[in-house]
Amino acid sequence: MKAKLALIAAALLTSSAAMAVTPSEQAIKLAKETIIVDGHIDVPYRINDTWEDVSRATDGGDFDYPRAVQGGLNAPFMSIYIPASYETSGDSVQLANRLIDSMEALVGRAPDKFALAHSVADVEKAFAEGKIALPLGMENGTPIQGSLDNLRHFYERGIRYITLAHSQANHISDSSYDLRRKWNGLSDFGKELVVEMNKLGVMVDISHVSDDAFYQAAEISKAPMIASHSSIRQFTPGFERNMDDKMIKKLAENGGVIMINFGSSFVSKQARQWNDQFSSKMEEKDLSWSDPQAETFSKQYRQNNPYPFASLELVLDHIDHVRDLVGIDHIGIGSDYDGVGDSLPENLKDVSTYPNLVQGLLDRGYSDADIRKILSGNLLRVWREVEAYAAAH
């Protein structure tokens, strides 16, 4: 799925002349003085595919150290992303370990800039020391391979949330993207896994899973769950990957947090429709995503059909919607930087732009206290509760 998104985004042409946001001193100060947790950034897979030293300024991608400092980003969850194809290839454990190794190596190269974070206390310690904490989340539970020993192994390596599935059903859960409903929710092992994740202190991430899998996980989990990078289905009708109001209410009942994905196709109906139409044209021409002609076709298509980038205002609309539905305590940020290619909204193009988001929240009347909850307070509360449950069991 990420390869598809990268290809879709390879030649996007901006059709919008959105005004640049100039954050106020108050917005910049809030961003700099508050821990900012982003629930999902795809640096590990990005640099595994094409190496870049993100401890320095990079020409590509959405994340590097200088831009993170500029934006006030302190605790990005590094996504240990495992493509769905690895469910059958047998190499998922090796890939997951290699991606974790890359984050440990990054800290080893730049210990003055980064620190691994296996707990809320680690995040707070890194912040106090002026370092960027790097907590780890596994996107796609395929490397668990039906073994609770593997779950414990990856916990020991620092994994603190697991996205149960990705773009296809795996041995744990059905996927929102997969029309087949292999398990009609969670597998028997998936149900067992949720229980064990609670006991161990690994957050259950329901981004990507089917609606049935979500509700089953919500009934089983005794600790709050997260949606590490999901947005609101009302704005993208028919897009099951996002959450509807009933699901958000259930997530909130359990004390959980939905972390808003910035990708244009996650927040904009028009961008969602554009993606669907483009995919249909690819199918009509019998072009696969690995076909070298696909990039040429995509460039030509975009010249005639400019991509409808979402706006910062629309991202804020998603945040408003959750606040109005379930309250301020259940909102976070899960940008999906480095995971959605060049489909990011105007004024939210990389990790330097969090002050723009803060400015937008201030303009809409959010208090400093509420903004701090969105930036990190809510997610850190959930993480503490997950830690506390595990300590008691």
The count of domains in the chain is: 1
Where in the sequence is the domain holding 135, given as residue range(s)?
A: 2-392
Residue 12: what pLDDT?
A: 47
Instruction: Report pLDDT for 13.
Output: 41
Query: pLDDT tens, 250-295?
Result: 999 999 999 999 999 999 999 999 999 998 999 898 887 678 888 8
Q: What is the pLDDT of residue 15?
A: 42
> Does residue 111 contact residue 127 with C-beta atoms inside 8 Å?
no
> What pLDDT sits at residue 347?
98
> Which of 230, 380, 224 is CA-nearest to residue 319?
230
Residue range 363-372: mean pLDDT, rounded: 98
Mean pLDDT in residue range 368-383: 98
How would residue 16 be classed by pLDDT, with cut points 50, 70 and 90?
A: very low
Query: What is the amino acid identity at position 261?
Result: N
**pLDDT given at position 318:** 98
Closest Cα partner for 114 from 135, 89, 141? 135
pLDDT digits (tens, 9 = 90+) for 152-200: 999 999 999 999 999 999 999 999 999 999 999 999 999 999 999 999 9
The model's confidence at residue 1, banded by pLDDT at 50, 70 and 90, is low
Instruction: Round to whole Å and give the CA distance between 250 and 248.
Output: 5
Could you report the per-residue pLDDT of 85-136, keeping only the tens digit for each? 999 998 999 999 999 999 999 999 999 999 999 999 999 999 999 999 999 9
Residue 4 has pLDDT above 50, yes or no: no
Q: Give the tokens for residue 308.
A: 């409808």
pLDDT at residue 357 greater than cutoff 70? yes
Strands 226-227 and 136-139: unpaired
331-346 per-position pLDDT tens digit? 999 999 999 998 999 9
- Residue 57: pLDDT above 70? yes
The pLDDT score that the predictor gives to residue 225 is 99
Tell me the CATH number at 220.
3.20.20.140
Query: Would the pLDDT of 10 be above 60?
Result: no
Percent of the residues in the chain that have a pLDDT greater than 90, as a whole number: 89
Q: How confident is the model at residue 288, as a pLDDT? A: 79
Q: Quick one: pLDDT at residue 90?
A: 85
Mean pLDDT score, 39-65: 96
Contact 187, 22 (CB under 8 A): no
**Mean pLDDT score across all residues of the chain:** 94
**Which pLDDT does position 281 carry in this prediction?**
92
The pLDDT assigned to 209 comes to 98
Cα separation, 306 vs 344, in Å, equals: 14
* Residue 124 Cα distances to 112, 128, 170, 377, angstroms: 16, 6, 35, 12
Categorize the per-residue pLDDT at 6 as very low, low, confident or very high, splitting at 50, 70 and 90: very low
Provide the pLDDT for residue 2: 61
